Structure 1
Amino acid sequence: MLPSELTKKITFSRGIRDGDLVIVYERHDIMKAVKVCESSVFQNRFGVFKHSDWIGKPFGSKVFNSKGRFVYLLAPTPELWTLVLSHRTQILYLADISFVIMYLEIVPGCVVLESGTGSGSLTTSLARAVAPTGHVYTFDFHEQRAESAREDFERTGVSSLVTVGVRDIQGEGFPDQFSGLADSVFLDLPQPWLAIPSAGKMLKQDGVLCSFSPCIEQVQRACETLRSNFTDIRTFEVLLRTYEVREGKMDYCQDDDLASVGNIPCKRKLSSNEGSNLQKNPSCPPIIARPCGEARGHTGYLTFARLKCFQ
């Protein structure tokens, strides 16, 4: 039975309670998911932080320990959860997730089918996208992995929006009870072409399917199968390039000689106004932006297709 009357919203606009999950933030690349327990403490390189000091504070608070060092207590949003969750399988990251939700046309109230669940990174974002009245039905063939995912969805507060099933979608297809009811279907399977016929039966008229595959050979075979019942077939590779923005030292020059920013050579000629300002405020460092030395490359190919309308 579809939960058409679900009204629970994902909200963190209250104080932190005993038993809540929080994201302890030190800096953008050092975060940890912690379950609050009044009698427990959190230890890191800054020292010891008492959980009892956290209870009652709003999410986003800056909390100090006895040494005057601090961390931030952030809400377990899907974006942050993706960065701290346990990797039971390879996961989708923010760039792919946002692209998937947009191209699958997922809005509040949608019914979404997913296979496989994996670590639940995408599932958590799907749940927020369909809230408060939609639902995500996700399937994984691995029973222990499915149970771990259920526990994570409970911890992050989306369990009322997600149902986890144990099923081999490649071999058995989706359950018949969802036939013609799904707005969108997402496949993350080694052989997606085996599940595509079943996915087509689950979709509403004009529904959209997405298949994620790391290898182009998988994409080619999936597209061959999609041609029979789908149209508007398109494949994308999302590559994200991030930049580091910080204060830094810049060597200025009054002519066209090369200056340098970090280890990246560049020309930087001072204008008359800049030269005057630099003389007035010699201690004011410039803001430098440059590509990060470590960039995430290929994650996978996203193939989208729309179910044909047969009159």
Structure 2
Amino acid sequence: MSFANYKETIEDGDTVILFLGFDNTLSIRVNKGTTSQTRYGALRHSDLIGVKYGSQINCPKGWLYVLYPTPELWTLNVPHRTQILYSTDISLVTMQLDLKPGSIVLEAGTGSGSLSHAILRTILPTGHLHTFEFHEQRAEIALKEFKTHGVSDYVTAVCRDVCKDGFGVEDDMADAVFLDMPSPWEAIVFASKALKKQGGRICTFSPCIEQVQKSHEVLRENGFEDCSTVECLVRNFDVRTINIPIPCLGGIEDENTMLTNKSESTTENKIKCLENSLQENNELEKQQTDKECKSADNNDTFYSYDLVGRKTKDYFQVKSGVPPTTMPGHTGYLTFASLYL
């Protein structure tokens, strides 16, 4: 198994993602003879070997899907040794740093390796990632993960404090630099030496606005231009299709008849029309509900979930979007700049 290449069947030693439901995934490493416990019961690893990725696997209390790991899925299941960047920020970083196959990237602050896997997927097969972590144990664990995931040939993981010792690479070699550390301004002077002088890109990730202000000052002092800071947030909406009945406001009568009829007679006709319309709508709603209840095999589950309100004889549909009561908030500020010397 490798994050660099895709294959169809599961083999012993592969890292796979178990999809148990919405917002419920689990990563395991397949070892023949081992059993993992899930919400649907025991899962024997021997049953996974030789199975195609994407297959449905039956368990004692239900079923799950086994998926090939991607950087996005790994971000959701990575063992947290530090706070990580999620796909929302990662996508913006990848775009703004102009990463592509063949790019040389310096990353200071390996952490749990969430961003590292996304960068590697983007710069393969001809690019290279140099990632630095000042914590020795975290650096060793990250290096082991890179080897397990089959990308060790495309990454150099080093235990190093870049704020004091720099990156230790040749000058003018990097296309992009990413700094995720408490004091990114201390490493900016070293980044300016390592970056290519015609359009090299840098990004810093800082939770506090005071860190952003200090980084902006040092970036300008070291010749960086086009400095900008953004905050990238996701706002989800629950989108449904709503059925709204068209009310009956009375029958349309002939103009001459309306002029000759008395007002009392007209009122009686309107009341009678409304009563008949309500009775007819109730009968239609009852028939629709009975039909749905008796139908045991509903092939259009998503459509039924999407609809709100019963269908009447005369109705129209509108789309409605409602945000959840709670949602993820601030993670950090991303500061981008370009180097032209």
On whether the aligned pair clears a TM of 0.5, the verdict is yes
Q: Map residues 34-45 of structure 1 onto 2, 5 A cutoff.
A: 34-45=28-39
C-alpha distance in 2, partners of 1:74/1:292? 28
CA drift of 1:49 comes to: 1.7
2:6 aligns with 12
C-alpha distance in 2, partners of 1:154/1:242? 36
Q: Map residues 140-289 of structure 1 onto 2, 5 A cutoff.
A: 140-175=133-168, 177-205=169-197, 206-228=199-221, 229-244=223-238, 252=244, 254=246, 281-282=288-289, 283=292, 285=304, 287=306
Q: Map residues 114-153 of structure 1 onto 2, 5 A cutoff.
A: 114-153=107-146
C-alpha distance in 2, partners of 1:12/1:60? 12
Question: What CA deviation, in whole Å up to 9, does each residue of 1:105-146 have, x standing for no partner?
Answer: 000011000001111110110011100110100001100010
Pick from 41, 50, 55: which aligns with 1:47? 41
Q: Is the 8 A contact 2:108 2:133 kept in 1?
A: yes
CA drift of 1:246 comes to: 7.5
CA drift of 1:243 comes to: 3.0
Q: Secondary structure at the match of 2:304?
A: coil
Q: Is the 8 A contact 2:3 2:149 kept in 1?
A: no
1:293 aligns with 325
1:263 aligns with none
Q: Is the 8 A contact 1:192 1:222 kept in 2?
A: yes
Name the TM-score, length of structure 1 as normaliser: 0.83
The one-letter code matched in structure 1 to 2:135 is H
Distance change in 2, residues 1:71/1:88 (3 Å): same
CA drift of 1:31 comes to: 1.3
C-alpha distance in 2, partners of 1:209/1:133? 21
Pick from 78, 93, 98: which aligns with 2:71? 78
CA drift of 1:83 comes to: 0.4
Structure with more of its chain in helix, by fraction: 2
The one-letter code matched in structure 1 to 2:327 is A
1:307 aligns with 339
Q: Secondary structure at the match of 1:100?
A: helix
C-alpha distance in 2, partners of 1:22/1:237? 32
| Sequence identity percentage | 46
C-alpha distance in 1, partners of 2:40/2:78? 23
Q: Is the 8 A contact 1:88 1:118 kept in 2?
A: yes
C-alpha distance in 1, partners of 2:176/2:115? 14
Q: CA RMSD in A?
A: 2.3
The one-letter code matched in structure 2 to 1:287 is D
C-alpha distance in 2, partners of 1:147/1:31? 26
Moved more, 292-301 or 178-187: 292-301
2:26 aligns with 32
CA drift of 1:154 comes to: 2.4
1:23 aligns with 17
CA drift of 1:197 comes to: 0.7
Distance change in 2, residues 1:225/1:293 (3 Å): same
CA drift of 1:59 comes to: 1.4
Gaps of 5+ in 2: 248-280, 293-302, 308-320
Moved more, 18-27 or 47-56: 47-56
Q: Is the 8 A contact 1:9 1:131 kept in 2?
A: no
Q: Is the 8 A contact 1:181 1:203 kept in 2?
A: yes
C-alpha distance in 2, partners of 1:170/1:34? 36
CA drift of 1:245 comes to: 5.5
Distance change in 2, residues 1:143/1:286 (3 Å): closer
Moved more, 183-192 or 68-77: 68-77
CA drift of 1:290 comes to: 3.3
Q: Secondary structure at the match of 1:204?
A: coil
Aligned length: 278
Q: Which runs of 4+ in 1 moved over 6 A?
A: none
C-alpha distance in 2, partners of 1:25/1:109? 33
